[in-house]
Amino acid sequence: MAEQTSDTTAPTSLWVERTGTRRYTGRSSRGAEVLIGSEGVEGVFTPGELLKIALAACSGMSSDFPLSRRLGDNYDATIRVSGAADRENEVYPQLDEVMELDLSELDADAQERLVALVERSVDKVCTVGRTLKAGTTVTLTVEREA
């Protein structure tokens, strides 16, 4: 989802701090933390896993309003995301999401309309998915201490 700020609210700052060999803690100025590391390290997410989780969370959040309007505020949803890395090129050539919803209380036509609405909502407002589909420019600046 798009980062929402107002004129009186500073944007959220994000950074990682090294805590060991190939281990980092991701932090936000809002006090959130996430442990990041190599795939073989227990209790951490890899950067690629965080990318996938961000995509799934964005899809869930982007569809929350239309789903809660039709299914009620307490509906259950699980969004699973997968995609193998192409290690030769160091990219994820495809990411697949599966949104699990109980739509059994709706008739077939209502289910189809809701699924179409969810797909449109995600396509329209999921910033993470839209960025991945469009591609983005990434820059890295190395600041050197004298």
- What is the reported pLDDT for 7? 56
pLDDT band at 146 (very low <50, low <70, confident <90, very high): confident
pLDDT in tens, 35-88: 999 999 999 999 999 999 999 999 999 999 999 999 999 999 999 999 999 999
User: For residue 49, how many other CB atoms are within 10 A of its CB?
Assistant: 13
Q: Can you list the domains of the chain with their CATH numbers?
A: 13-45 (no CATH), 47-133 (3.30.300.20)
For 14, phi and psi rounded to 5 degrees? Answer: -125, 140
| One-letter identity of residue 16 | V
Strand partners for 80: 98
Quote the pTM value: 0.89
The backbone region for 90, taken as left when phi is positive above 0, alpha when psi lies in -120 to 50, beta otherwise, is left
pLDDT in tens, 7-36: 568 899 999 999 999 999 999 999 999 999
Degrees to nearest 5, angle at CA 81 with 107 and 108: 10
